[in-house]
Structure 1
Amino acid sequence: MAASLSDIAERAGVSIKTVSGALHGGTARMSEETRARIKEIAEELGYVTNLAARGVRQGWLPLIGVVADELITSPFATEIIRGLDGAARTAEMAVFAMNLSGNRDVGSVLEEVRRFRPRAIAYAAMYHKTVELPPELSKSVGVMINCREASGRVISLVPDEEAAAIEVTRHLLAAGRKRIAFINLPGLLAGELREQGFRTVLNDAGLSPLAVLPAVRRPTYSDRAPSLVLAHVTALMAAADRPDAILCGNDRVAMEVYAALRRVGAAIPDDVAVASFDNQVEIASRLDPPLTTMALPHRAMGRLAAEILLTGPSSPARLLKLPFQLMERSSV
């Protein structure tokens, strides 16, 4: 039979309350020597915490629940969950996710998550967007990851898209590139903010964009939408004022730009530099030449989300923008 708290208490010669305090962080006072002795006995007896019983006593289980807004279908899900899980494990917590997609509404998914009595709940999105949570539901969510809550009631952690575009555009200018085209992501908040940063840097340098073009035919970007990249690159390279750099809305667009440039006989980076956003490593590091791109702060968002959920925010700010990292490779 599994060892119980009373078994440990009898062996250690202390009360069950003292054992519970040593193993589960209760309020019982004891010396560090007593605490260490109790933990040693618990390990000898093979004691395993009864999470269900503990949840009944304190009203929650050592879990962080995640409402995953199509996140599980994203290549970045691993990085967000790794950051969240790593920080949670340090606090002896575990992470689980419920997927929000298709016809499921956020209320029903939140109810499923709450059934597990988690210590805290996060809402994580596949891409940077604005999410409207009903007021009664926003009270259950401790932090938004990779998205912003429309009313500002919930702390939101988002990538600093505009600052990332400023940094990568400055990098292109520092490399001597001045005729820069941007093949962007239409209809997405990330694309809008990145374009703002791109235009800001060029304006400050007394330059204008050579072109700002949508990567797909539809109003909103999707990697399943009909691509316009080949047509754009072909037209740009046939013009009298050809670009010496192309900034891409993400690494998938950059991959298409590589293929289009090769098709028209242009070399990277000798004829045209290429830079991008996201740092999907399986794409960026394997292109020839490897792609210079801005790495999204997904793991950092996960870590910070866990800290906020378990210890509270370190500032009163409701929208926290996390910086990208410039990954310099050979395409610039």
Structure 2
Amino acid sequence: MSDIAERAGVSVKTVSGALHGGSARMSNQTRQRIKEIAEELGYVTNLAARGMRQGWMPLIGVVADELITSPFATEIIRGLDGAARASDMAVFAMTLSGRRDLASVLEEVRRFRPRAIAYAAMYHKTVALPEEFAGAVGVMINCREANDRVMSLVPDEFGAAHEITSYLIDSGRRNIVFINLPGLLAGELREAGFRQALTEGGIDGASAGVLPAVRRAVYSDRAPSLVLSHVAELMSGPNRPDAILCGNDRVAMEVYAALRRVGAEIPDDVAVASFDNQVDIASRLDPPLTTMALPHRAMGRLAADILLAADAMPKEVRKLPFQLVERSSV
């Protein structure tokens, strides 16, 4: 910085202000001249020294609760990273898995002295943070803190199910079956939204068919599937559905295959709709799948805004809406 100051004929404080947003006053012409000289000389900010002065590094640390293993959930990191870069911050993530406990991962993240810490989950769930770390996490993404001690950003599962079910009803479907994800908070909330939309549409929501996608109590894409047997039984019975709502796009892919086996056409015989908008699946199915897109990228962007805000945010649960992606399966 001394070299830049000498070349530009200004003080080191002015150089610092131009490059790091300090309080020194200068004209736009001077600021631009300093930046050009810095680039010419190959100046790179010493982040370690800057961190020692400020007490934190220009980093946002993310505790990634299996997030990195989910191709569509990484949209959270993309949204967070894009917003952070706009504020000259970088994002790093450390994965939480069954082999590492939450307290040790949080402590490891804190060793890097980040400006802020976020906790992001692969799917909508409730997380109990250790008491000593509740104040260290600035925002929960795609999950909520068990004791509501941290601002939480979650997808509006109830609203999404209500919207897609209403969409099916508006398209003329009256006998709708939901093949849901058992044992997950998202599945529970979506079932409630599904039933309410049916009731509001003049259909008996309380008696509507809701079936588990897998044989296990908690959904996993590795669990034994029940989709084929469900669809075969539904389509061979006297009360064949005219629409099947699926817990996610993977389940919808199985439903497509099962319907083809029994000779049913989509959407002429049976409409199919889903949740997630995993584009590699939804856009490549034949016909392309109508689905509700999770607000992952929006959650990431909003999380960055919350973490870098000058004022503390209220410790509340904020629900973000899904987006209906209309394709040809309805």
What is the TM-score normalised by the length of structure 2?
0.96
What is aligned with 1:285? 283
The superposition leaves residues 179-220 of structure 1 with CA deviations (integer Å, 9 ceiling, x where unpaired) of 000000000000000001000011112212541100011110
1:252 shift after superposition: 0.5
Q: Which moved more, 1:248-257 or 1:316-325?
A: 316-325
Q: Is contact 2:94–2:109 with CA below 8 Å preserved after alignment?
A: yes
What is aligned with 2:163? 167
Q: Is contact 1:182–1:246 with CA below 8 Å preserved after alignment?
A: yes
- Describe the SS at the equivalent of 2:94: strand
- Describe the SS at the equivalent of 1:217: coil
Q: Which moved more, 1:142-151 or 1:206-215?
A: 206-215
- Describe the SS at the equivalent of 1:44: helix
1:216 aligns with 2:188: no
1:40 shift after superposition: 2.1
Cα distance in 2 between the residues matched to 1:145 and 1:185:
20
What is aligned with 2:63? 67
What is aligned with 1:111? 107
Code of the aligned partner of 1:10:
E
Code of the aligned partner of 2:63:
V
The superposition leaves residues 121-167 of structure 1 with CA deviations (integer Å, 9 ceiling, x where unpaired) of 11000100000002210111111111011111111111000100011
Code of the aligned partner of 1:212:
V
The superposition leaves residues 93-132 of structure 1 with CA deviations (integer Å, 9 ceiling, x where unpaired) of 1111000002211111111111211111110001000000
Code of the aligned partner of 1:133:
L
Cα distance in 2 between the residues matched to 1:303 and 1:311:
12
The 3 A distance-change label for structure 1 pair 172 and 312 is: farther
How many residues are matched?
Answer: 328
Which of 70, 79, 92 is the aligned partner of 1:83? 79
What is aligned with 2:309? 311
* Unpaired segments ≥5 residues, structure 1: none
* Unpaired segments ≥5 residues, structure 2: none
Alignment of 1:193-208 (within 5 A): 193-208=189-204
Code of the aligned partner of 1:284:
A
Cα distance in 1 between the residues matched to 2:307 and 2:146:
20
1:10 shift after superposition: 1.4
Q: Is contact 1:68–1:97 with CA below 8 Å preserved after alignment?
A: yes
1:316 shift after superposition: 3.3
1:235 aligns with 2:233: yes
The 3 A distance-change label for structure 1 pair 314 and 292 is: farther
- Describe the SS at the equivalent of 1:97: strand
Cα distance in 2 between the residues matched to 1:170 and 1:217:
28
Cα distance in 1 between the residues matched to 2:220 and 2:78:
25
What is the TM-score normalised by the length of structure 1?
0.96
The 3 A distance-change label for structure 1 pair 219 and 313 is: farther
What is the alpha-carbon root mean square deviation over aligned residues? 1.4
Q: Is contact 2:306–2:313 with CA below 8 Å preserved after alignment?
A: no
Cα distance in 1 between the residues matched to 2:73 and 2:260:
32
Q: Is contact 1:307–1:313 with CA below 8 Å preserved after alignment?
A: no
Alignment of 1:86-97 (within 5 A): 86-97=82-93
Cα distance in 2 between the residues matched to 1:149 and 1:277:
24
What is aligned with 1:154? 150
The 3 A distance-change label for structure 1 pair 65 and 317 is: closer
Q: Is contact 2:249–2:276 with CA below 8 Å preserved after alignment?
A: yes
1:138 aligns with 2:134: yes
Cα distance in 1 between the residues matched to 2:256 and 2:83:
38
- Describe the SS at the equivalent of 2:273: strand
Q: Is contact 1:123–1:145 with CA below 8 Å preserved after alignment?
A: yes
What is aligned with 1:183? 179
- Describe the SS at the equivalent of 1:190: helix
